[in-house]
């Protein structure tokens, strides 16, 4: 499969007092992920785009203000043409404990970046990561030691993790631009229409988006109307169930749990960041292929993925169009209608077969008589009118 290369940069600052002028509300980390075969072509095209859009300077999100949304859109479209995938971590600083170690810049940088590093090193084979420099040489060395201590194995060499100035690596600059764009979305620097434009560009390139602390308490206040609030609670509880599953799995998932995590990450991302549309099985298969699960069929995704997640109390709605984290009561109704359309006709066929054999044997042969069919007998009993 070859090596995988990740280039990481951020948007925002470490100051936890978000009321201060210039302090960001969120800290966004972006990794662009590129296969070894695509690396040289990505460098070449990125450098061409840098010259086209920024002339002698770096590709840098902060050079564009909110009013420059049309120019940002054009640059995003061009950068999305690079042979890369994206993974984001978004930290809501307002929900962090202000008096702990996170108030110190070096601890903050290590801790929040580790949220991304952990996902990438655990899930990307033969990963080589290059991150933008922070602080002086001493901190660079301490950061590398921090990462090596957590993710090193016999293959963790000098090139597995390195820090580098964005000035000398155009792909770190690309990560900066994507991180800054996502920050514009979260910081409310773009109108709703512009946000949708940005999301549509990012959608097909993004493998996942991790929000931390876990965001089952929405950034958006609950709606006031009774009907809308009921839908709001459906979505928040579904997100909470997803977060509880993530916490239960922990840091050492087995192969099936890795599959479930990848599916859940993708459904959460689509629910929170893209749209409330159903995600087709074909989209899930394509996503899993990008994440190192090639050649999976519908049955494997249903039995080892969706079904196991539901067994673990993760709420996933489904319809003929695919799967989703439910956002409304209508999504739950879709799921129930689909389940009813499959379960009730099947039960009716079992009942028909049972009645045929009971009648033809004058009651001596009941196909559901054995103990292993006790639950089926109970279900059929609940459907009987006499």
Query: pLDDT tens across 339-374, in order?
Result: 888 888 888 888 888 888 888 887 789 898 999 989
Query: 156 near 48, Cβ under 8 Å?
Result: no
pLDDT of 158 reads 54
Among the ranges given (32-36, 130-134, 268-272, 296-300), the one the predictor scored with the smallest mean pLDDT: 268-272
Fold of 4-212: Nucleotidyltransferase; domain 5 (3.30.420)
Contacts of 140 (CB under 8 A, 6+ apart): 133, 134, 163
Tokens 């080892």 belong to which residue?
A: 304
Rounded mean pLDDT, 295-316: 91
Give 146-174 pLDDT, tens digit per residue.
777 776 654 455 568 888 999 999 999 99
Closest residue by Cα to residue 116 from 83, 77, 143: 143
What is the spatial distance between Cα 78 and Cα 42, in angstroms, rounded to a whole number?
12
Rounded mean pLDDT, 191-198: 90
pLDDT of 101 reads 63
Percentage of the chain modeled with pLDDT above 90: 32
Give 62-120 pLDDT, tens digit per residue.
999 989 999 999 999 999 999 999 989 888 888 776 656 667 777 787 778 787 887 78
What is the spatial distance between Cα 98 and Cα 181, in angstroms, rounded to a whole number?
26
**Structure token digits, residue 143:** 């950061």
Name the residue with higher pLDDT: 122 or 268.
268
pLDDT of 9 reads 93
**Strand pairing report for 4-11 and 127-132:** parallel
Closest residue by Cα to residue 308 from 251, 253, 227: 253
DSSP string, 34-45: EEHHHHHHHHHH
pLDDT higher than threshold 60 for residue 311: yes
Domain map (residue ranges) of the chain: 4-212, 226-327, 333-383
Q: 11 φ, ψ to 5°?
A: -135, 135
Give 210-262 pLDDT, tens digit per residue.
877 765 434 344 555 667 778 888 888 888 888 888 778 766 778 888 889 88
Tokens 């991180």 belong to which residue?
A: 179
How many C-beta atoms surround the C-beta of residue 81 within 10 A?
A: 11
Closest residue by Cα to residue 186 from 18, 54, 48: 18
pLDDT of 213 reads 74
């Amino acid at each position: 499969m070859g090596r995988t290369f990740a280039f990481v940069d951020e948007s925002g600052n470490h100051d936890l007092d978000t009321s201060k002028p210039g302090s960001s509300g969120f800290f966004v980390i972006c990794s662009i992920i590129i296969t070894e075969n695509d690396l040289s072509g990505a460098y070449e095209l990125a450098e061409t785009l840098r010259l086209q859009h920024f002339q002698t300077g770096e590709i840098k999100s902060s050079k564009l203000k909110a009013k420059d949304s049309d120019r940002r859109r054009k640059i995003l479209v061009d950068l999305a043409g690079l042979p890369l995938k994206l993974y984001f971590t978004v930290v809501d600083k307002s929900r962090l404990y202000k008096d702990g170690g996170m108030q110190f810049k070096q601890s903050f940088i290590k801790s929040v970046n580790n949220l991304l590093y952990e996902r990438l090193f655990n899930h990307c084979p033969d990963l080589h990561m290059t991150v933008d420099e922070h602080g002086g040489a001493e901190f660079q060395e301490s950061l590398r030691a921090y990462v090596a201590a957590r993710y090193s194995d016999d293959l963790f060499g000098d090139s597995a993790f390195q820090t580098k100035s964005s000035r000398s690596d155009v792909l770190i600059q690309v990560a900066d631009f994507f991180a800054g764009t996502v920050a514009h979305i979260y910081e409310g620097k773009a109108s709703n229409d512009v946000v949708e434009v940005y999301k549509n560009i990012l959608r097909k390139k993004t493998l996942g988006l991790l929000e931390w602390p876990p965001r089952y308490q929405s950034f958006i206040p609950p709606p006031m109307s009774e009907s809308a609030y009921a839908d709001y609670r459906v979505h928040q509880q579904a997100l909470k169930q997803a977060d509880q599953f993530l916490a239960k799995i922990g840091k050492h998932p087995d192969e099936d749990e890795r599959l479930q995590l990848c599916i859940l990450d993708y459904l959460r991302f689509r629910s929170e960041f893209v749209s409330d549309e159903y995600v087709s099985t074909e989209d899930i298969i394509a996503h899993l292929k990008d994440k190192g699960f090639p050649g999976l069929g519908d049955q494997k995704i249903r039995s080892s993925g969706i079904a196991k997640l539901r067994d673990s109390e993760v709420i996933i709605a489904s319809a003929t169009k695919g799967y989703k984290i439910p956002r409304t009561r209508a999504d739950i109704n879709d799921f129930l209608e689909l389940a009813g359309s499959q379960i009730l006709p099947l039960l009716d066929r079992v009942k028909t077969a049972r009645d045929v054999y009971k009648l033809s044997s004058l009651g001596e042969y009941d196909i559901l008589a054995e103990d292993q069919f006790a639950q089926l007998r109970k279900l059929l009993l609940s459907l009987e009118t006499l």
